[in-house]
Amino acid sequence: MARIKLYPNDTAITGGDKLVGTDVAGDNITKNFLIEDLAQYFEQTGNSLFQYNFAGTYSNEVIASGDYRYQVDPSAPTVYNWVQITGIAISRYNRNGEDVTPMVPLLINQVIKITDIDTSSSLGYGLYQVTSSTTLSSGNAFLLTLNFKGGSSTVGNNIISISPFGTEGYEYTFTQSAAASTWVITHNLDRFPSVTTVDSAGSIINGAITYTDSNTITVVFTSATSGKAYLN
């Protein structure tokens, strides 16, 4: 076996790549560890305060500790998409037992990212603006009313993490009505914002982003497409 430092570096890391390590909980046996499993572990044990377990769709005001439920448009099919989610009910206590009550009012008017951090759902996520918050009758849960901004193709009903992106006053929505491979976005925010682009169906798409200056961004795609860009 060659010395480890003599092996070439992998410059194209994928979730299926493996690392060799010691399983302390398994009698210190040497095992392989998948990159995607490590990513999931760090997501689920990270510092995000708003992490919850899926408990179904919202139908009453009883939300168990550590759980969340999606409020879904009544006309939505059984297998709903991010755009059909109109609210989310979350427990006062996250999945680690921490009380989030003092932080909930700070989410009002924020753009949030709801990320499914279970790898079985390929890290699906949706972007929303929180328009209001209601304390449910039990006093141990909150219903956040959401305005859809964009999202991936499928909703995963697993463990989620909710991350604030900023307030509405510091964001800009750009609409590209005619399909084009290059979008020139003049936002006049006088800053270099994060950019999320979606196609006309609301699915996340990725392009090459260039910050021309603090008020203009150019996004180049591999093919012509229409949609929206959310800047924050």
Six token digits for residue 120: 């079985």
**For 123-167, what is each residue's pLDDT tens digit?**
578 889 999 999 998 889 999 999 998 887 678 778 888 988 766
**For 19-31, what is each residue's pLDDT tens digit?**
777 777 777 888 8
**For 80-93, what is each residue's pLDDT tens digit?**
889 999 999 999 99
In this model, does residue 180 exceed pLDDT 60?
A: yes
Q: Tell me what pLDDT residue 78 has.
A: 87
Q: Is the four-CA dihedral 204, 110, 69, 114 of positive or negative sign? A: positive
> Dihedral, CA atoms, 217, 223, 229, 232, nearest 10 degrees?
-50
Gap between the Cα atoms of 203 and 162, Å rounded: 19
Instruction: Give residue 212's region: left, alpha or beta (phi > 0; psi -120 to 50).
Output: alpha
CA-closest candidate to residue 68, choices 132, 138, 158: 158
Contact 17, 35 (CB under 8 A): yes
Average pLDDT score over the chain: 84
Range 213-222 average pLDDT = 93
**For 100-122, what is each residue's pLDDT tens digit?**
999 999 898 888 989 887 755 44
Gap between the Cα atoms of 40 and 159, Å rounded: 10
Amino acid (1-letter code) at residue 105: P
Q: Tell me what pLDDT residue 154 has.
A: 73
In this model, does residue 44 exceed pLDDT 70?
A: no
Range 52-69 average pLDDT = 92
Minimum mean pLDDT range among 37-46, 166-175, 202-211: 37-46
Element (H, E) at 231: strand 216-231
Q: What is the residue-wise DSSP string for 30-93?
A: EEEEEHHHHHHHHHHTSS-SEEEEEEEE--SS---TTEEEEEE-TTS-SS--GGGEEEEEEESB
